[in-house]
Amino acid sequence: MKIIKPREELRKYVRYYWVLESDEPFSVLTFPIGCPQLIFHRGKPLFVPELGKSHDKFTISGQVNFPAHLQTDGNLEMIVAVFYPHTISLFIDTPPSTFYNLEISGYDIENSRLNEIATQIFDCKDSFDSILILEEWLMTKFRPSLNIERIGRSLGKLLLNPSTAITALAGTACLSKKQYERIFREYVGMNPKEYARIVKFQKAMRMMQCGERNHAGIAAASGYSDQSHFIREFKSMTGHTPKSLLSICQPYSDLFTTPV
């Protein structure tokens, strides 16, 4: 897998791009990462057994709160744009809550210009040139707004302390609690309480990624009420206990790791 950094003007809104090519079959278990994605399959699309279907050639992956397998029998070439939790709405008109816990066809949002960009990406011979095509379109779309800045500030606070109360997050955003919850859902695609579950899980994964194995310490540092709460939530997000997950894969926190 190759990771590509966005151009400077987009780095506040697009975390990174990645390109994966494989002729070999594989199945990989994935977890909620807290960031929506645009996915372009230039080869054969991935199959998701938990959803009982394959990706569309052009797929939008929303915020999810469950684990899923991604499977391919080979002939895979995919280009993925990973956004910050609250920024995909800058580029598409469809509210992110529309694809909460879903991976939908990008064609379903009926954005004719984005459909044209997808066609250009599929027709392009080089995956890196395909990203340039996508970036040119992204540059024409984003318009920073006050609410984006407000939600971004509150997310920064939540990442530092995943147990921060919603009233405190709303105060950071200079909004009432009711306003904050509405705007947060509008931009992130799920409510703040639900998103905080993903942040806690991702922070726990980051600690495990860095070698921490003390469950009580992980629970306390990640904002869980106690060790049993941590293990219960971890199993909900991965299908495994923290101990059993280590027997099948190495923990990796996408949300708390900057790959480029």
Give the residue with greater pLDDT, 171 vs 52: 171
Residues 6+ apart with CB under 8 A from 259: 3, 16, 18
Name the percent of the chain lying above pLDDT 90. 95
Distance in angstroms (rounded) separating the CA atoms of residues 42 and 221: 41
pLDDT tens-digit series, residues 142-181: 888 999 999 999 999 999 999 999 999 999 999 999 999 9
**Strand pairing of 53-54 and 26-30?**
unpaired
